[in-house]
Every structure is written in structure tokens, then in C-alpha cells.
């Protein structure tokens, strides 16, 4: 359970961010039925992100930049461009990690690939607006502006994550940022930019780094 818990949290930064980004949440007044309908309209998402990792040990946050591509049919490419060039590829049940080092992509033997698969399954529930079915998070809305979705983890995960807040953008279907708060004062903030909904991109993006 302990291993499952940390492994599961391993990918939450990226997973939650993607889930939040494609969540169409124009306002608190939208009922669940129309919300789910709006989820169905999203077939793909492409965006860039800046991730700030705030840690007590560091004076300045650790800043990573990247981009991601998502297909509602079940594919995801979550890619860091700096400071470490790495990519997580998901296509159906297959999840692979690669890192760019010494002029070549290397497959990462890191543990947690199975956990990432579980997280992605959890995420796909969120992408379909099925927050109430989550085994890990309970949710609440705040209309704003800006609109916010607060995800609160249950027992186990709360040793690593206290809360996840998805802050919505003015643009329907787009979020501005995701803020993850951890015990001990650490936090992660992921801000999105150049978000494209239902853009087309080649499927090989999900096959090779």
C-alpha cells in the first residue's frame, strides 16, 4: 500500500495537470449532465507548460518547461524540455519513459511505470468528468472568478499531497494553472500557455520519443 501510494503520486503532477487542462468547467452553475457533455467535445489537447517546484531547501524554485499532447482516445505525451529532457508516452495500456542523454534517447528503468498506468486510468475518469468515481480524491467547486476545482486526497496519498487546485482560465475548456500543495511547505505550480483544443497532430508523437 505504501509503495502503491508513493508510486501513484509520482505522476500526479503531470496527470492532474492534464486532467485539469482539458476539464471544461465554465462555471459552478453548470450541472453535471452538461459538464459531461462538454467533456465529450474534447478530442485532443496540445499545450506548453512551466512547472515551478517550490522546496524549502531551495531559495528559488526549480523551474521546468515542457509541453504535452493528449488524445481523448487514450494517448498522452508529457514532455519536459528543460532542465531534464524527458518524455512519458502513454498509448492505451502501454506507458514508457525516456530520457535524453549523451545525444540519444534512453528508456528509463525507473519504477512507477505500473503506477503511472494506474494514475492515467484515474485521470481518464476525471477527463470524462467522473470525479465522483475517484478512489483517490474527493472534489469541490468554487465558482470564482477564477473558477477553481479543489481535489483532496484520501488516506495514504495525503502523506504526500495535501491538495490539488485547478485554477480555470477565462477561456472555456482551458485552465490557467494547477497548484499542488504538499506536507512540509513544498508546492508545485504548473502554468499553461498556448493551449490548443482539438488540434490535430501526428499519432507517432505517442510512439517514439
Give the interface with other proteins as residue ranges (CB under 8 A): 2-3, 6, 9-14, 51, 53, 55, 57-59, 62, 64, 80, 83-84, 86, 99, 101, 106, 108-112, 160, 182, 184, 186, 188
d(CA 38, CA 41): 5
Q: Which is nearer to other proteins, 12 or 19 (CB)?
A: 12
Whichever of 116 and 197 has its CB closer to other proteins, that residue is 116
- Using alpha carbons, select from 149, 127, 156, 136 the residue that is nearest to residue 28: 149
How many C-beta atoms surround the C-beta of residue 176 within 10 A?
A: 19
At residue 133, the 3 state secondary structure works out as helix
* Minimum separation from the CB atom of position 177 to other proteins (A): 15
Smallest separation (angstroms) from other proteins to the CB of 2:
6
Residue 115's H or E segment, with its range, is: helix 113-127
CB of 129 to other proteins, least distance (A): 25
For 94, the grid coordinates are 502501454
CB of 58 to other proteins, least distance (A): 6
Nearer to other proteins, 51 or 129 (CB): 51
Quick one: 26 or 61, whose CB is closer to other proteins? Answer: 61
Specify the length of the chain in residues: 209
Other beta carbons within 10 Å of 197: 19
Amino acid at each position: 500500500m505504501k509503495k502503491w501510494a508513493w508510486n501513484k503520486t509520482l505522476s500526479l503532477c503531470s496527470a492532474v495537470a492534464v486532467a485539469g487542462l482539458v476539464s471544461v468547467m465554465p462555471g459552478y452553475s453548470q450541472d453535471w449532465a452538461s459538464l459531461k457533455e462538454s467533456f465529450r467535445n474534447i478530442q485532443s489537447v496540445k499545450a506548453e507548460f512551466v512547472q515551478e517546484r517550490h522546496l524549502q531547501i531551495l531559495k528559488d524554485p526549480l523551474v521546468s518547461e515542457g509541453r504535452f499532447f493528449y488524445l481523448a482516445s487514450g494517448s498522452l505525451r508529457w514532455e519536459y524540455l528543460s532542465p531534464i529532457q524527458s518524455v512519458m508516452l502513454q498509448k492505451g495500456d502501454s506507458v514508457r519513459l525516456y530520457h535524453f542523454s549523451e545525444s540519444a534517447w534512453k528508456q528509463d528503468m525507473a519504477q512507477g511505470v505500473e503506477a503511472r498506468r494506474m494514475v492515467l486510468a484515474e485521470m481518464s475518469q476525471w477527463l470524462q468528468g467522473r470525479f465522483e468515481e475517484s478512489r483517490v480524491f474527493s472534489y469541490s467547486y468554487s465558482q470564482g472568478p477564477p473558477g477553481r476545482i479543489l481535489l483532496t486526497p484520501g488516506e495514504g496519498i495525503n502523506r504526500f499531497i495535501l491538495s490539488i487546485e485547478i485554477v480555470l482560465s477565462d477561456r472555456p475548456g482551458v485552465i490557467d494553472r494547477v497548484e499542488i500543495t504538499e506536507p512540509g511547505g513544498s508546492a508545485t505550480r504548473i502554468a499553461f500557455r498556448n493551449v490548443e483544443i482539438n488540434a490535430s497532430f501526428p499519432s507517432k508523437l505517442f510512439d517514439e520519443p
